[in-house]
Each structure stands twice: as structure tokens, then as C-alpha cells.
Amino acid sequence: MEQFAIKGGNPLVGEVEIGGAKNAALAILAAAIMTDETVLIENMPDVRDTNVLIQAMESIGVIVKRLDRHTVKINASNIHDVVIEDDFIKKIRASYYLLGALLGKYKKAEVSLPGGCNIGLRPIDQHIKGFRALGADVRIEHGMIITDAEHLKGSHVYLDVVSVGATINVMMAAAMAEGKTTIENAAKEPHVVDLANFLNSMGADIKGAGTDVIRIRGVSKLHGSEYAIIPDQIEAGTFMFAAAVTKGDVTVKNVIPKHLESISAKLLEIGCEIEESDDAVRVVASKPLGHTHVKTLPYPGFPTDMQPQIAVTLGLSMGTSIVTESIFENRFKYVDELTRMGASIKVEGNTAIIDGVKKYTGASITAPDLRAGAALVIAGLAAEGITVVDDIKFIQRGYEDFHLKLKALGAQIEMVNTEKELQKFKLKVG
Ligand code: UD1
């Protein structure tokens, strides 16, 4: 089984190139099947989640050609099925974006009901509410969500919770409905805006993405397009906190600094220096870090996908910090692992009370999910001694070449497959 072996203690120093946003890529890949013409997508991250979604698309007849590692050409003129099997949904929840895309294009779709992702209950009632408002019939039978409509008709959709997934799914279906749809209380995340821009580049008529009211005038046909995906806000943020926790000096390049504002603000608050330019942000942690309070919120608030990374950093900062998770109810699973490394964290409901300690010590730990896995790796980079992180398949879902990028910044980290390779690493790092 693949693991990351880490010898902590080196400050991360240098520049790191950030890839395309995984969460935008998932929505854009699904939307690309909504036209019979060819679509070219650039800045596609080469991570497990996008690759599984591509396989799900290929399973129904979509032709996907990789022109290079980060460019794909998609042609969906020969789709022969609107049923997405359970295997894909089990591996990647966002396969359910094919529901909105297929419903919009063919007025029918069947996708296996997604399970959880280890971070708590993840209902899809708002997606279903949106599809129904557009006139679709939605049933759950034999573990599948089955939806069809004679015609999709534009409508007024009020989302009871701010949901990225529901906003994206409803936006796709409404893009090809008859007439006008308004989505109120829509999610404002950068990837929602990126999807709207992509759909507009295919001939859709979507206004207001990035605000909480999105207005969509349906069109009967979408056309081919060439589009580059925005940089990954969460990958960038992860490297920014890795710089902070290792007392390093890292410039994240190819980013949109505006998307990183909540992250930069918290780093500034705890004593890092931040330098922004047009497409880069530099984080310098030259003095001891201080404590803060943070609550995860929908964009532009502090992202839930950055919660474990900030907690790992606050665990080594002076004083008591409070982290409140307001999006997912079960997102503190990594705390037990971090405690094994010496952290002092008490979780009460959706709040973690963190008493900063002087050091973490390396341990054998397990990645419980994607972002917590990345956070535990950065804890290992700051820890004394050797940390071995198991279940790195979770991390590979969303980070391309994570260990190689860290290595280029001076980290001592290897991917190891066997006990022998682990021993070799231990001998090498001394
Ligand atoms: C997306 C992101 C994920 C991120 C999350 C919040 C992708 C592929 N995933 O997940 O990385 O952590 O946004 O920024 O982009 N909810 C309902 N009913 C619904 C839908 C959601 O109650 O029908 C609730 C959820 O349980 C959660 C909250 O709404 O409490 C937000 O979830 P949502 O924004 O939908 O998250 P995802 O789209 O699943």
C-alpha cells in the first residue's frame, strides 16, 4: 500500500505552481457532455477524482482524448446511455453532476445515489428540489436517482441551504430548459463562477454567478468551446499553510489572489507576512505564530476544505485557538491522529479548542479523507522525526504530485510502497 514517509523539520522555501481547480474541473467535465460538438479544456488537473469522472463519462460513450497531461478534448456526440453505474459514484461523489448535465441535454438521467465522503451526512434534497422545480420527475429506486422530464421549464429555485453541488446541478439542467430560471441563495464559490463562464462560452445565457442570485435563460443547444480552468484555491491554500507551519517562505504561483483572501487574512492574523502580486501570493513565516478564531463558511468565508490545514497550523501556534466547522458535521476525524503527534485539541460538537504546543512528534497515522490527509502531511513536515501517512489514495483524489511539489520546496518526503522502501527512506534521512 502506498504511503508517504516524511522526515519533518525543514522549512519549505521556494515557488510552487498551482494546478487547475479540481472542483471546477469536475463540474466543467460534466458540462462538456452537454454539446455534440468538441470541447477543449485546458489546465485540467491530473488527479484521481477527475480521472474517475472521465472514466464514468467514457462508460456512456463520451470520447475523451488527453492531448497532454493537462489538456483534454471531449466529444459527447455518441452518448449511448444515460445511466451512471454505482462503481463511479462510490469512488467519486461528484459523478452526480452528470445528473444535471444529462437531464439538461437528454431530459433523462439515472445515477446511483451517492454515499457519504467520511465528513458527515451529505444529503441531496436541494438538487432534487431544483430538478423538480424545473418540471422533472425524480424518483429514488434500487439505489438509483432516476429523473426524466417531457420538457424542462425554467422556474424559480430557492435553495434552503447554500449548496455548491445543488447550485451546479440545477445550473446545468436550467441552461437547457425552456425559459428563465432564477436560483436564489446560490453558492458563490469560484468554481460555480467558472462553470457559469464555461457554459456561457458554449452558448448558455447565465448571469449573476458569484452572487447569491443566478439568472439563467435556457437555450435549446450548446456548442463547442475552448476553455481553461481556474487555479485551485484549496491546493494553493494548502501550500500556504504548509509554508506557515514549517516557518518557511513559499510563493504559490498561477493563482487568483482574490480567491485566497480569507486564507491570506487568517495567515496575516497569526503573524505571517503576505505579499500579493497579479497571479502569485508569497507567505513568509519568520516569527512565532499566534492564535486566532475561525469559522468555516460558504465563499467568500473561510473554506471548510481548509479547516484541517488551519487547525494543524494553529496546533503549533502560541495560545488557544478555536475552529468552528459550520458546513459538515463530521470533519474533525483527523484530530485523533494529530493528537498522536502531540497536538492538544479538544473537540466539542462542531468546535475544536486548540491549545498550541511547542512541537509535534512524528507518528504512523492514517489519512481519514482528502483534505485532512493533506493537513496531516503538513503536520508531518513540521514534526520532529519521521511520520508515515497511510491511505494516501485520499490525498491523491485532489492533489497532483503533492509529494513532488513539497520535495521541490525542500521537504524530505517520499512515496513508499513496501516496508523495505520505508526502511531505505529512514536510513537516507538519518
Ligand atoms: C462541495 C465541494 C467540497 C466542499 C463543499 C463546501 C465539490 C466537488 N465539492 O461539496 O469540496 O467541501 O462544496 O464548500 O465541489 N446540503 C444539503 N442538501 C443538499 C446539498 C447540500 O443539506 O441537497 C448541505 C450539506 O450537507 C452541507 C452543505 O449543504 O452541510 C454544503 O454542501 P455542498 O455545498 O452541497 O457541498 P458539496 O457540493 O457536496
In one letter, which amino acid is 63? I
For residues 10 and 246, the answer to whether their CB atoms sit within 8 Å is: yes
Q: How far apart are CA 366 and CA 370, in angstroms?
A: 11
Residue 161 Cα to ligand 1 midpoint, Å, equals: 9
For residues 281 and 258, the answer to whether their CB atoms sit within 8 Å is: no
For residues 12 and 406, the answer to whether their CB atoms sit within 8 Å is: yes
Q: How far apart are CA 407 and CA 280, in angstroms?
A: 20
pLDDT at 117: 53
In this prediction, what percent of the chain has a pLDDT beyond 70? 98
Interval 255-272 mean pLDDT = 98
User: Which domains does the chain carry?
Assistant: 3-19+231-429 (3.65.10.10), 22-228 (3.65.10.10)
Q: Whose CA is nearest to atom 26 of ligand 1?
A: 122
pLDDT at 122: 75
Q: Whose CA is nearest to atom 25 of ligand 1?
A: 122
Mutate to test the pocket of ligand 1, among 161, 172, 307, 369 (most ligand atoms within 8 A of CB): 161
pLDDT at 208: 98
Q: List pLDDT tens digits, range 198-247.
A: 999 999 999 999 999 999 999 999 999 999 999 999 999 999 999 999 99
Which phi and psi angles does 313 have, rounded to 5°? Answer: -70, -45
Regarding the beta carbon of 138 and ligand 1, being less than 6 Å apart is answered: no
CA nearest 368: which of 412, 307, 317?
307
For residues 328 and 334, the answer to whether their CB atoms sit within 8 Å is: no
Regarding the beta carbon of 94 and ligand 1, being less than 6 Å apart is answered: yes
| pLDDT band for position 309 (cuts 50, 70, 90) | very high
Q: Among 111-120, 285-294, 339-348, 373-382, where is mean pLDDT lowest?
A: 111-120
272 catalytic residue (yes or no): no
118, pLDDT greater than 70: no
pLDDT at 120: 60
Q: C-alpha angle with apex 166: 161 to 171, nearest 5 degrees?
A: 125
pLDDT at 196: 98
Residue 163 Cα to ligand 1 midpoint, Å, equals: 5
- Return the ligand 1 atom nearest residue 124 CA: 23
